[in-house]
Amino acid sequence: MESTSTPLDLQQLDQSHYLPVFKRVPLTLVKGEGCYVWDDKGNQYLDALAGIAVNSLGHCHPKVVQAIREQAGRLIHISNFYVSPPQAILSRRLTELSGLDRVFMTNSGGESVEAAIKLARKFAHQHGRGGEIISFEGCFHGRTMATIAAGDEKYQRGFGPMPAGFKQIAFNDPDLLAQAITEDTAAVLIEPIQGEGGIRPASAELLSAARELCDRHKLALVLDEVQCGIARTGQWFAFQQTGIKPDIMALAKGLGSGFPVGAALCSEQIAEAIDFGDHGTTFGGNPLACAAALAVLEAIERDQLVAYAAEQGERLLTRLRREAESNEWITEVRGQGLMLGVELAFPGKAVVEEMLKQGVLANCARERVMRLVPPLITPAGELDHIVDVLLAAIQEVANRE
Ligand code: PLP
């Protein structure tokens, strides 16, 4: 242990040693409880970012802490050569909730999308099709090579050559999608609500056209619910309010409420294309991760957080949209449940800084979109406070400019 007599300059340590890929907020966080976190100086912050839509149950939820503690004392890791109770029970629960048939557990969103792409390609090859994946401008699917190849061009710069077999088209244009499909196409990959792309929902027309085209051409419809899944939009999964069902779905983020765990789910038809040894993972779905995820799903259900996210989201959306009618600085309000985006007439960076000064953690996607993805357990009063602080910060920054 370091001596306690000379306090460590942690910001300095970070700057000296950590790979500089994250533009850090100069804040060192040391503790969290519910919808609040504290920095090393004892300042308290209301968390409207939730680890980027991860802490679905807020910080250190007692049921998740208890499940992790108990499982850590019993069995942390085995290989996927063996079955563990948490993984088997979690797989059953995820299939029950989603209506899909098979589960593959991962450690992150990027890995879940990678698994989804492999499933889609194996299925396509079995049916004599090429392996091309069609995705949409503004999308984000992770930082691995295949997921940046599927993702927006800005994530690819400097990392070429890109893996082959990815095509990107404009978002929310069903006609373009119909034209883009060829004999080479394996799958259509869609975020039901683009998160990093600025909380932009896929239109009902795009989703139903994608389902219909995938059925007609025997393609896999892959939904990336890494950010919008697990109760965030007021349904267990965002697709459940669209009338369509995917063949493959990627999950992560909210599933572990902070514990790194993800999943790729698929229909039996897709699973039939897979053979032993086709895919694998050392850590994915280990007993500790699955125990954490099970505790998260149980708490969401017991505390009726799916309905709560829907009801509170509707309330905030109505308030923000009403505000936008008379607020010249807000150009649009989008989203569903507790996944909301407030698009500004100017860059949101200064608004994020102003909110931080007022004790609220938030962030900005796509430069101008204030993203609100608070924990699903945030009380109504705190949710209102987040909106109060956001509106005051917008006004403060607008007055300054
Ligand atoms: N897919 C979506 C929709 C995401 O929002 C993210 C992360 O923000 C990812 C995939 C990648 O997840 P991870 O950072 O856990 O790899």
Asked if 281 and 310 sit in the same domain, the reply is no
Q: Ligand 1 mean position to 245 CA, how many Å?
A: 21
If DSSP codes are grouped into helix, strand and coil, which group holds residue 261?
coil
196 lines ligand 1 (CB under 6 A): yes
Ligand 1: which atom is nearest the Cα of residue 111?
16
Asked if 332 and 355 sit in the same domain, the reply is yes
Q: Which residues contact 268 (CB under 8 A, 6 or more apart)?
A: 101, 102
Ligand 1: which atom is nearest the Cα of residue 228?
3
- Residues facing residue 249 across a β-bridge: 223, 265
According to DSSP H, which parts of 153-260 are helical?
A: 174-180, 204-217
Mutate to test the pocket of ligand 1, among 253, 257, 373 (most ligand atoms within 8 A of CB): 253
CA 245 to chain centre: 18
State the CB neighbour count (10 A cutoff) for residue 253.
Answer: 29
| Residue that terminates a domain, selected from 260, 275, 302 | 302
382 lines ligand 1 (CB under 6 A): no
Residue 213 token pair: 């085209």
**Mind listing the pLDDT tens digit for each residue in 80-119?**
999 999 999 999 999 999 999 999 999 999 999 999 999 9
Strand-pair category, 44-47 with 102-106? unpaired
Q: Which residues contact 81 (CB under 8 A, 6 or more apart)?
A: none
Task: With residue 334 as reference, give the H or E element that holds it.
Answer: strand 330-336
Establish if 382 belongs to a structural domain.
yes
Q: Ligand 1 mean position to 123 CA, how many Å?
A: 24
According to DSSP H, which parts of 187-345 are helical?
A: 204-217, 268-271, 287-302, 305-326
> Token match 């370091």: residue?
2
Establish if 5 belongs to a structural domain.
no
If DSSP codes are grouped into helix, strand and coil, which group holds residue 347?
coil
> How many domains is the chain partitioned into structurally?
2
| Rounded (5°) CA angle 132-137-138 | 125
**Mind listing the pLDDT tens digit for each residue in 349-399?**
999 999 999 999 999 999 999 999 999 999 999 999 999 999 999 999 999
225 lines ligand 1 (CB under 6 A): no
140 lines ligand 1 (CB under 6 A): yes
109 lines ligand 1 (CB under 6 A): yes
| Residue that terminates a domain, selected from 236, 271, 302 | 302
Residue 4 token pair: 């306690």
**pLDDT averaged per 10 residues in sequence order, the chain, 401 residues:** 71 96 96 98 98 98 98 98 98 98 98 98 96 98 98 94 98 98 98 98 98 98 98 98 97 98 98 97 98 98 98 98 98 98 98 98 97 98 98 97 76
Establish if 2 belongs to a structural domain.
no
91 lines ligand 1 (CB under 6 A): no
Asked if 45 and 87 sit in the same domain, the reply is no
Asked if 249 and 163 sit in the same domain, the reply is yes
pTM: 0.97
Asked if 110 and 258 sit in the same domain, the reply is yes
Residue 319: phi and psi, rounded to 5, are -65, -45
